[in-house]
């Protein structure tokens, strides 16, 4: 697919997602129409077919404009599923390549209940066993875990953080804990591992110098939410009329200033995310730092823009008959996803001052 074809296909799926997003938010249900559309779509394998990271990021933002929950689900699937390329045996790589292309869904099971932002550094230890290691423990915030057939997970093995791509078998129990403020349709549940085998053959040989879809894509989720919020604000300002003159609130200066400020924040966030994606495509040495900078700016822009759009809509925006309250709730999840703005600022400050080097990607 060309870049323009990818974006057009993303717009098609986005429209399907937007039609049901409010219902899935209310019901805390997975967006099945999104899974089904993506399973049939060439977008699902776009990165395998050579799509640029810039195009990938733009696709994430388009999907997130329709449903931030599905944008998140798909991003986690891409970041976890494409880890099969780091499997040690070519035959196994070929097998997972087929499964991925046939629509198998992958979940990201890295975060531990006590790990906070340090999801790349597991605390839970797996014990040596025949064929690999066995893990008893828990992983949380596993988006789409009920749908996933395979999981990217990690554990301390022989004293070292080690990553695996495993089957979600009967030794893994899903606990329904997902009753949240936002991102409700991700159903990011708690998983209990009960003597789960982590096979040696599924141990990943990750290259820390290679880009990862999740690190690149997280800013674009926030950008998609911000785009949806700005579009809502503009449409509402044009349509909402006040008596007695029956003039649209778009004619009021404070509304004009508010919309202008939203636009400035969005364009700044989008520009930095594009800069990070282009740097990733060109493998510039600072692409990991740019990705982190883009996440902070996009996360904070989305919260500011959705808040401003809510204020513009007033009490009407507080009603679930309008989507802006959902956009605001979803936007608030961005800064909570690792790495948080506080952790990134701490890291960036130390890096800029020469106190530490950039961390590896996974």
Cα atoms in the Cβ-side hemisphere of radius 13 Å centred on 187:
18
Domain check: are 92 and 116 in the same one? no
The whole-number pLDDT of residue 359 equals 60
Confirm whether 358 is domain-assigned: no
Confirm whether 292 is domain-assigned: yes
Q: What is the mean pLDDT of residues 18-38?
A: 98
Domain check: are 40 and 134 in the same one? no
Of the listed ranges 166-175, 279-288, 345-354, the one predicted with least confidence: 345-354
Contact between 306 and 328 (Cβ < 8 Å):
yes
Domain check: are 68 and 32 in the same one? yes
Domain check: are 228 and 317 in the same one? yes
Domain check: are 253 and 285 in the same one? yes
Reference 106, options 75, 63, 141, 129; nearest CA is: 75
* Last residue in a domain, options 77, 101, 125: 101
What residue has token string 């996933």? 148
CA dist., res. 288 & res. 285, Å (int): 8
Q: What is the mean pLDDT of residues 134-146?
A: 98
Confirm whether 361 is domain-assigned: no
* CATH number (domain holding residue 251): 1.20.140.10
Domain check: are 53 and 153 in the same one? no
Q: For the residues of 118-168, what is the DSSP string, one character each?
A: -TTS--PEEEEETTEEEEEEEEEEETTTTT-SEEEEEEEETTEEEEEEEE-
DSSP, collapsed to helix, strand or coil, labels residue 356 as: coil
Domain check: are 335 and 259 in the same one? yes
Confirm whether 261 is domain-assigned: yes
Domain check: are 94 and 138 in the same one? no
* CATH number (domain holding residue 137): 2.40.110.10
Domain check: are 175 and 223 in the same one? no
The whole-number pLDDT of residue 38 equals 98
* Last residue in a domain, options 202, 229, 250: 202
Mean pLDDT of the chain: 96
Confirm whether 208 is domain-assigned: no
pLDDT per residue over 289-313, tens digit each?
999 999 999 999 999 999 999 999 9
The whole-number pLDDT of residue 360 equals 47
CA angle at 124 for the pair 347 and 171, rounded to the nearest 5°: 130
* CATH number (domain holding residue 55): 1.10.540.10
Q: Is the confidence at residue 351, as pLDDT, over 90? A: no
The whole-number pLDDT of residue 116 equals 78
Domain check: are 153 and 29 in the same one? no
Contact between 119 and 80 (Cβ < 8 Å):
no
More confident residue, 274 or 120: 274
CA dist., res. 184 & res. 181, Å (int): 7
Contact between 168 and 176 (Cβ < 8 Å):
no
Going by pLDDT thresholds of 50, 70 and 90, the confidence category of residue 105 is very high
Going by pLDDT thresholds of 50, 70 and 90, the confidence category of residue 119 is confident
User: Residue 295 sits in which domain range?
Assistant: 213-352
Instruction: Please enumerate in sequence order all residues whose Cβ is within 8 A of that of 46, keeping only pairs 6 or more positions apart, or say none.
Output: 1, 6, 55, 56, 59
Contact between 147 and 191 (Cβ < 8 Å):
no
Q: Is the confidence at residue 361, as pLDDT, over 60? A: no
* Last residue in a domain, options 143, 177, 202: 202
The whole-number pLDDT of residue 72 equals 99
CA dist., res. 322 & res. 139, Å (int): 35
What values do phi and psi take at 341, rounded to 5?
-55, -35
Confirm whether 90 is domain-assigned: yes
Domain check: are 119 and 82 in the same one? no
Question: How many domains in the chain?
Answer: 3
Predicted structure pTM score: 0.96
Q: Is the confidence at residue 342, as pLDDT, over 70? A: yes
The whole-number pLDDT of residue 362 equals 39
Domain check: are 180 and 223 in the same one? no
pLDDT per residue over 250-269, tens digit each?
999 999 999 999 999 999 99
Q: What is the mean pLDDT of residues 85-111?
A: 98
Reference 203, options 123, 250, 116, 135; nearest CA is: 135
Q: Is the peptide bond before 48 cis (omega within 30 degrees of 0)?
A: no
Confirm whether 159 is domain-assigned: yes
Confirm whether 250 is domain-assigned: yes
């Amino acid at each position: 697919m060309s870049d323009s074809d990818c974006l057009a296909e993303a717009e098609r799926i986005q429209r399907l997602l937007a039609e049901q997003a409010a219902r899935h938010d209310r019901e805390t249900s997975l967006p099945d129409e999104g899974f089904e559309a993506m399973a049939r779509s060439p977008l699902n394998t776009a990165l395998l077919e050579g799509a640029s990271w810039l195009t990938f990021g733009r696709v994430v933002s388009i999907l997130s404009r329709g449903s931030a929950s599905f944008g998140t689900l798909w991003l986690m699937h891409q970041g976890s599923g494409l880890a099969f390329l780091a499997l040690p045996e070519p035959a196994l790589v070929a097998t997972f390549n087929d499964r991925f292309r046939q629509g198998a869904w992958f979940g990201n099971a890295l975060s531990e209940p006590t790990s906070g932002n340090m999801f790349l550094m597991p605390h839970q230890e797996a014990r040596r066993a025949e064929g690999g290691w066995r893990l008893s423990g828990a992983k949380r915030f596993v988006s789409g875990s009920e749908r996933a057939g395979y999981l990217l997970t990690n554990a301390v093995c022989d004293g070292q953080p080690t990553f695996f791509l495993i089957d979600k078998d009967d030794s893994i129990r899903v606990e329904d804990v997902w009753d949240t403020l936002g991102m409700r349709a991700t159903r990011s549940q708690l998983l209990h591992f009960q003597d789960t085998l982590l096979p040696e053959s599924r141990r990943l040989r990750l290259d820390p110098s290679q880009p990862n879809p999740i690190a690149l894509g997280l800013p674009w989720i926030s950008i998609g939410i911000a785009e949806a919020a700005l579009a809502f604000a503009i449409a509402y300002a044009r349509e909402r009329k006040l008596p007695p003159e029956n003039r649209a609130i778009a004619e009021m200066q404070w509304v004009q200033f508010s919309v202008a400020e939203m636009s400035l924040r969005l364009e700044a966030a989008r520009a930095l995310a594009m800069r990070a994606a282009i740097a990733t495509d060109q493998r510039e040495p600072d692409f990991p730092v740019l990705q982190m900078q883009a996440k902070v700016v996009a996360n904070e822009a989305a919260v500011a823009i959705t808040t401003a759009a809510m204020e513009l809509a007033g009490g009407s925006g507080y009603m679930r008959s309008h989507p802006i309250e959902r956009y605001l709730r979803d936007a608030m999840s961005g800064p909570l996803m690792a790495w948080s703005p506080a952790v990134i600022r701490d890291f960036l400050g130390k890096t800029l001052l020469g106190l530490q080097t950039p961390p590896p990607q996974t």
